Amino acid sequence: MTDDTKTAIDKGGPLDIRLRGLLGWLLPISLGLGAFGAWPTWLTHGLAGLWAELAAGVIVVGVMLVNGLLVTAAAGLGKYSAAMTFSGSSLLRLIICAVFMTGAWWLFKLEPVPLIIWMSLFYLVGLGCECAWVVRALRKQNNKQR
């Protein structure tokens, strides 16, 4: 692509985005969610439910962090690449989480109901955190260019 055919989103060079920023969003919110939901999970499913909650949290946060690494790598190519990597990997993240959850359920004989509920909750929270992380980096860069 030549310079005169670039769109506004392509201009400006690499996107300044750090994995540390995602950690700052994802870890405290996920830990808070897990702590907040531990008591109801304990009351409804006991210790087996807490193990399922822990497994769901670890798997989803791990998948989100790996995706964060992909986004930061793509950010070196520019804003468009980072945004498309984030958007394009949404379905893949969900599928990978489901596959890992199925593996954890089968391998560790976890309670399926809390596992599915917590995977859904952690995934939605993780998606929101990752979205806020990417949007914040894009806004910062756009404000610098003005």
For residue 127, tell me if it sits in a domain.
yes
For residue 10, tell me if it sits in a domain.
no
Other beta carbons within 10 angstroms of residue 46's beta carbon come to 12
For residue 4, tell me if it sits in a domain.
no
For residue 11, tell me if it sits in a domain.
no
For residue 112, tell me if it sits in a domain.
yes
For residue 2, tell me if it sits in a domain.
no
Q: How far apart are CA 32 and CA 14, in angstroms?
A: 33
For residue 122, tell me if it sits in a domain.
yes
Instruction: Flag the least confident range among 4-13, 14-23, 103-112, 130-139.
Output: 4-13
Residues 116-121: contacts with CB under 8 Å, at least 24 apart: 118/37, 118/41, 118/52, 118/53, 118/56, 118/57, 119/56, 119/59, 119/60, 121/33, 121/37, 121/56
pLDDT at residue number 54? 98
pTM of the model: 0.90
Q: Which residue has the higher pLDDT, 142 or 64?
A: 64
Q: What is the pLDDT of residues 9-48, one digit of tens each?
A: 556 689 999 999 999 999 999 999 999 999 999 999 999 9
Q: What is the pLDDT of residues 69-106, one digit of tens each?
A: 999 999 999 999 999 999 999 999 999 999 999 999 99
Which residue range is the domain that position 57 belongs to? 17-141
Total number of domains in the chain: 1
Q: What is the pLDDT of residues 62-75, one digit of tens each?
A: 999 999 999 999 99
